[in-house]
Structure 1
Amino acid sequence: MKKIEDSEVRWGILGVGNVCEVKSAPAMQIVPHSKLVAVMRRSEEKVRDYALRHGVQKWYTDAQALVEDPEVNAIYIATPPHMHLPLTKMVAGAGKPVYVEKPMARNYAECVEMIAACEKAHVPLYVAYYRRALPHFLKIKGLLDRGSIGEVRSVHINLKQVLKPDLIVHLENNWRVDPEIAGGGYFFDLASHQLDLLDFFFGPVISAKGFSANQAKAYAAEDIVTGSFVFQNGVLGTGNWCFTTSRHSEVDEILIYGNKGMIRFETFGKGAFELWDEGDSPTIHELELPKHIQQPLISSIVSDLLGTGNCPSTGHSAARTNLVMDRLVGRD
């Protein structure tokens, strides 16, 4: 069933910041049957500049004005997380489909409100967990589904980063470590991608428990999280995230262990992974990533809205990730 009555998705964007320069918005001009027609940002100077540089005809400094633009029939919310709930309610109230940045919200309770608002208005809700549509992760999912490493036993996330020196100097400009805006720190920003991807591979997590702390006290949010979780299919998982480690221990790695092999990959690196099966050395798979990293997911959203396909990242799947994060930091 078509989610919009038109033959083209005409996008409006609320909050054209850095994520809209290369990652997302330009893809809206490339995907067939898709067009970016209006953008919004509170700064008139910045939104006008964006519109001119990206060839967008309309720009606004007021969110409601863009939402009410009759030419716009779908809206992408690209603001920090604290605005996702109120803006989703605004867009749903106007009867228009919602595409919102990740993490979906600051906490699971806000996600539930967003889902309810969209269901009441009978509009779809999508979330920008674009790794679900990237070629190398689709390849990994295919290998797992075909049993290439046998029965999956466990999965382990290990993400360590150094404390960036300029973070302290420009802390007031970094909303990602302000819990009032982001819901938490870099764990919410980065681990959300990892946990959502594992939800894509294995299905929902049915139990999660973790611990978090602010060890370096460089900012208000947690800077270290550890935890364990269980997927509905019986796979067990652990995670260890630290954002104030030494440069010698920086790592971005997810390991999936089966009874016949193993898969190792980076979440935030190039489109490559290692497959260890019956041989003594791994097979390296490397696939090219799109220039506009959200393009495959945006393409799936356009197809879903026009009734010709399906999008793998919805409000329901994304809310599950927020619930797991809440539990891992000890909120639930």
Structure 2
Amino acid sequence: MNKVRWGIIGCGDVTEVKSGPAFQKVENSELVAVMRRTGHLAEDYAKRHQVPKWYDNADELINDPEVDVVYIATPPGSHMEYTIKAAQAGKPVYVEKPMARNSEECGKMIAACKEAGVPLFVAYYRRAQPRFLKVKELLDNKAIGDIRLVRTTQFQPVSEKIINSNDVPWRLQPEISGGGLFFDLASHTLDILDYILGPIISVKGLASNQAGFYNAEDIVTSTYLFESGVHGVGNWCFSAFEKTDVNEIIGSKGKITFSTFEHDPVTLTTAGGTEKWSFDPLQHVHQPLVETIVAELTGEAVECPSTAVSAARTNWVMDEMVKK
């Protein structure tokens, strides 16, 4: 394919700035159709973003002959359904994270795309962002010697909106999202650790609902072992008194500190002192990853670093962490 023509299923908030505009800005890429079940909202999005077509039916978008690749930006509860339909129509798929509600659904998505002979990409876009590539470069260059341990701490308070409302957001409804904020947010951290440190092969975890504002887990603590032998410790709490977002990779000769969601500098600490690298926030956070997808689909010697296989590993890790 010489040019990638995209169709979006679920043109909600995430597509306004984070992803949607990237399809128009990347070379050899074009957004040609959008879909949302509420038709007038799909029409509004199309008009504001200069998209030629809009639909209120996903099947119509999937089967549009002018749509080459389908981007699924709905909640995880419908990822499997739409991925299988797109695969059966012979269309490559780019699906939001987490890939599905659980690893079993991920397996079915992988099987459907394999049978159809189409690629399946997942929106773990940090794998292509400069800040995280810098961390990977430092590790690959042995800046901290042999890697021993990674330690993750991610806390945040319960939002006033959740405390004062009976309307629970879909992200906190496990039947739609797979879990609570842990599935939505920790998935980014666990995936980037998979990218820079390799696969996790053993997991032990504890998950609870301590605050009681919704049915999903609001605290997860876990230990895990990477295939490389590196140990990991993670603590996620979504009913804490303050916000914390820090990852530390500790080696035999130093440590690297970075955040998953904040724009704190990447910090290297060794016996020789401290070095820091700062990176400007990206306007469209998906764009570097979309560039790799378009390059792969148009036949350039580039492979997208976020595949269905790697994303399914992250789902498996989360399943193990919250398993009762």
Q: TM-score, normalised by structure 1?
A: 0.96
Return 264-273 or 69-78, whichever deviates more: 264-273
How far apart, CA to CA, are the structure 1 residues paired with 2:264 and 2:28?
27
For the residue of structure 2 that corresponds to 1:207, the secondary structure is: strand
* Residue of structure 2 in register with 1:36 after alignment: 31
Contact 2:151 2:234 in 1 (8 A): yes
Alignment of 1:53-92 (within 5 A): 53-92=48-87
How far apart, CA to CA, are the structure 1 residues paired with 2:261 and 2:202?
26
RMSD: 1.0
Which runs of 4 or more aligned residues in structure 1 lie more than 4 Å from their structure 2 counterparts after TM superposition?
none
Contact 1:271 1:289 in 2 (8 A): no
Q: Does 1:168 align with 2:163?
A: yes
Deviation at 1:173, TM superposition (A): 5.2
* Residue of structure 2 in register with 1:294 after alignment: 286
Deviations 1:261-300 (A, max 9, x none): 00111100116211112224x2111122321011000000
Alignment of 1:192-211 (within 5 A): 192-211=187-206
Q: Does 1:264 align with 2:257?
A: yes
Contact 1:155 1:256 in 2 (8 A): yes
* Residue of structure 2 in register with 1:303 after alignment: 295
* Residue of structure 1 in register with 2:221 after alignment: 226
Contact 1:10 1:36 in 2 (8 A): yes
Deviation at 1:44, TM superposition (A): 1.2
- Alpha carbons of 1:288 and 1:271: their partners in 2 closer, same or farther (altered >3 Å)? farther
Aligned partner letter, 2:169: N
How far apart, CA to CA, are the structure 1 residues paired with 2:70 and 2:157?
36
Deviation at 1:167, TM superposition (A): 1.4
How far apart, CA to CA, are the structure 1 residues paired with 2:9 and 2:167?
22
Deviations 1:191-249 (A, max 9, x none): 000000000011110100100000111001000000011001110001000000113xx
How far apart, CA to CA, are the structure 2 residues paired with 1:47 and 1:130?
24
Alignment of 1:109-128 (within 5 A): 109-128=104-123
How far apart, CA to CA, are the structure 1 residues paired with 2:281 and 2:76?
26
* Residue of structure 1 in register with 2:310 after alignment: 317
Q: Does 1:24 align with 2:19?
A: yes
Q: TM-score, normalised by structure 2?
A: 0.98
How far apart, CA to CA, are the structure 2 residues paired with 1:306 and 1:288?
29
* Residue of structure 2 in register with 1:3 after alignment: none
Contact 2:168 2:214 in 1 (8 A): no
Contact 1:203 1:231 in 2 (8 A): yes
For the residue of structure 1 that corresponds to 2:79, the secondary structure is: helix
Q: Percent identity?
A: 53
How far apart, CA to CA, are the structure 1 residues paired with 2:18 and 2:129?
13
How far apart, CA to CA, are the structure 1 residues paired with 2:42 and 2:167?
22
Q: Does 1:151 align with 2:143?
A: no
- Alpha carbons of 1:212 and 1:252: their partners in 2 closer, same or farther (altered >3 Å)? same
How far apart, CA to CA, are the structure 2 residues paired with 1:169 and 1:162?
14
Aligned partner letter, 1:236: H
Contact 1:134 1:289 in 2 (8 A): no
- Alpha carbons of 1:253 and 1:271: their partners in 2 closer, same or farther (altered >3 Å)? closer
Deviation at 1:9, TM superposition (A): 0.2
Aligned partner letter, 2:277: H
Contact 1:135 1:289 in 2 (8 A): no
How far apart, CA to CA, are the structure 2 residues paired with 1:66 and 1:189?
26
Contact 1:160 1:241 in 2 (8 A): yes
